[in-house]
Amino acid sequence: MSLQTLRTLRLALGITTAVAVSYGIGWPLAYVVPILTVLFLAIPVWISWPAAVKIMVLLAVGLLIGVLISEFVLHFPLLCVPLYALLFFMIYYTPGPDASPLVPLFMTMGITMIPIISFSGTMVSHLVATALLFDMAVALFFAWLFHSLLPDSLAAKTATAAKSSAPVRVVEVTEKEKIRLALVSTIVASTAVIIFFALNLSQYALAMLFICIMAGTPDQNASVKFIKGSALATVIGGVAVIIAYNLLVVSPTYLFMVFLVLLFSLLFSELIYSDSPLAPAFQSGFTTFLVLLGSSTGGTDAAASDFYVRIGQILFAGLFTVLGLVVVEHLLRPRTKRSSQVTTS
């Protein structure tokens, strides 16, 4: 068995099992488990339990900060706005080149989702925080289980495996540029939080979360690659879930849903581990697929309309983030150039 085949099976079987268990039991926010699981199963090796505990602690800290904000700070805008700006700057600036990209993701999730959900009630936000922490523990368990059942060591060593282990060139970023990029991301994310909180758009919290996450990629700010990647991932995930959703409307059964997830997981996994330059977009598209599928499969009559609204939220989040990054970059870069010209003269 080749390494690519083994990783494809590991990701597809792991995600299908996570969907089957979480959707089958159906505890609060159970659909988040596969979304978190794909983040850890896509990594070539198991991150180790000490690292997993660290991630749990980081998420718990983010959720706790979110709960404290919702209870004591949220209704004081003059205090809440600068606090969010400070938190976002710390999240976007602190991670170094060796830091996991999951760190800002989980911290951002905690400090944004819990406060905006608290508009629906304090107890609701507490339940959501508890459910997210439990979902993370379950996702880490599934990731560990399938990394243990199907480790890379089972695959035959091939040229592909040797190529994947080649060192990756790390682009050096100066301290001044690192601060500037963190500031750009902070301005965009803080603007989104102010707008969504001021207008009480808790029903569109998914869009706000995506904006804050996508804004936290300072190495790709205002780049054509970032714009194309975000748009392509949304289109890929959106098209796939539209097909799956309409098939589920025809046959809305649990076993058929699990079968569909297995098919789409195999398809996405094969593309993710291919040599295609679009492989990262397919991984983001797979995550988008799981987000839309999980948050839209329900027994209510409004499920279909809510489903397309969620696609619109992600598309809006991508457009808002790209335009925000471009505008803020345009405002900050000319000042940098002018100051450098004055210095040289």
- 179 contacts 92 by C-beta, under 8 angstroms: no
Cα–Cα dist 128/125, whole Å? 5
- Does position 344 have pLDDT exceeding 70, yes or no? no
The predicted-structure confidence for 217-236, as pLDDT tens digits, reads as follows 644 444 455 556 666 777 78
Cα–Cα dist 245/193, whole Å? 31
According to DSSP, residue 120 is labeled G
Quick one: which H or E segment has residue 322?
A: helix 303-344
- Does position 17 have pLDDT exceeding 90, yes or no? yes
**How confident is the prediction for the chain on average, in pLDDT?**
80
Residue 313 amino acid letter: Q
- Does position 335 have pLDDT exceeding 90, yes or no? no
- Does position 189 have pLDDT exceeding 50, yes or no? yes
Choose the weakest-confidence range: 108-117, 214-223, 281-290: 214-223
The pLDDT value recorded for residue 279 is 83
pLDDT: which is higher, 330 or 50:
50
Q: Which residues of 18-55 are buried (b: 16+ CB within 10 A; e: fewer)?
A: bbbebbeeeeebbbbbbbbbbbbbbeeebbeeeebeeb
- Angle of helix 122-149 relative to helix 102-117, nearest 10 degrees, comes to 150
Q: Which residues contact 210 (CB under 8 A, 6 or more apart)?
A: 313, 314, 317, 318, 321
- For the chain, domain boundaries: 3-157+176-334
The pLDDT value recorded for residue 299 is 46
Report long-range pairs for 48-53 (Cβ below 8 Å, ≥24 apart). 49/144, 52/140, 52/144
The predicted-structure confidence for 114-170, as pLDDT tens digits, reads as follows 898 888 777 888 888 999 999 999 999 999 999 999 998 887 654 444 444 444 454
- Does position 29 have pLDDT exceeding 70, yes or no? yes
- Does position 242 have pLDDT exceeding 70, yes or no? yes
Question: pTM of the prediction?
Answer: 0.80
Residue 284 amino acid letter: S
The pLDDT value recorded for residue 168 is 43
- Angle of helix 49-68 relative to helix 102-117, nearest 10 degrees, comes to 30
The pLDDT value recorded for residue 255 is 94
- 156 contacts 1 by C-beta, under 8 angstroms: yes
Cα–Cα dist 107/73, whole Å? 18
Alpha helices in 199-345 (DSSP H): 205-215, 224-250, 254-272, 279-296, 303-344
The pLDDT value recorded for residue 162 is 41
Q: What is the mean pLDDT of residues 6-12?
A: 94
